[in-house]
Chain A
Amino acid sequence: KNQVEQSPQSLIILEGKNCTLQCNYTVSPFSNLRWYKQDTGRGPVSLTIMTFSENTKSNGRYTATLDADTKQSSLHITASQLSDSASYICVVSSDRGSTLGRLYFGRGTQLTVWP
């Protein structure tokens, strides 16, 4: 069964601190993995996308890693800001030949940054 599991479910950190969010998946065949940020009351917005051959990718203070062998990804946030408070969702794509593009979503990690 294609699944995406994220941990922790929720996380509270102080402003300026770093944190790491985890994503494990069983989706196969694997196409790519994205991390989305979803602010309260908004739709998700893509932060990074990683394909099978990529191990790490950065977007400002966000750094994603991917281990395709162990089917694990992490999202590291450096020097957190209050605006980082959001749900972070791991999304794995499994292209099914000509039908393409089914996405599998994790439940997200709810990050709260306190001043």
Chain B
Amino acid sequence: GAGVSQSPSNKVTEKGKDVELRCDPISGHTALYWYRQRLGQGLEFLIYFQGNSAPDKSGLPSDRFSAERTGESVSTLTIQRTQQEDSAVYLCASSLRTGGDYEQYFGPGTRLTVT
């Protein structure tokens, strides 16, 4: 498949547990973004990676959230000590480069439920 893929599609976890979400971007896309979408809310920017540059982490809501990307491939978003307010759909997107001129292609998202 040529699109952005994410796994798992659904994740249910207990409060206090750590979770790791995975994103496989489109091959050749140097930019990768993570967003959070709470029920009935708009997309909330979390972090983006551009090539080997330092990531823009300005959207991460707390130090419980972190993300890594290996080169220009897979990225993982880790949430430590999950809280109920972390329940949301986490969307990943990739684009050829950063910049509004480059369309972001979104994955299907991971629906996280913290009980």
Contact = CB atoms under 8 A, between A and B. Distances in A.
Contacts of B48: 101
A76 B50 CA distance: 34
Interface of A: 4, 31-32, 34, 41-46, 49, 89, 93-95, 99-103, 105-108
A41 B101 contact: no
Contact of A89 (B43, B45, B101): B43
Contact of A46 (B35, B98, B103): B103
B109 A100 contact: no
Contact of A43 (B98, B101, B106): B106
A103 B45 contact: yes
B41 interface: yes
A107 B106 contact: no
B4 A43 contact: yes
B25 interface: no
B99 A105 contact: no
A49 B103 contact: yes
A93 B4 contact: no
Interface in B1-48: 4, 31, 35, 40-45, 48
A6 B42 CA distance: 10
A34 B31 CA distance: 18
B104 interface: yes
A95 B42 contact: no
Given A31-B100, A31-B101, A43-B93, A106 B108 contact: no
Given A41-B108, A43-B93, A101-B98, A107 B103 contact: no
B91 interface: yes
B5 to A, nearest CB: 10
Given A94-B100, A100-B99, A101-B98, A43 B91 contact: yes
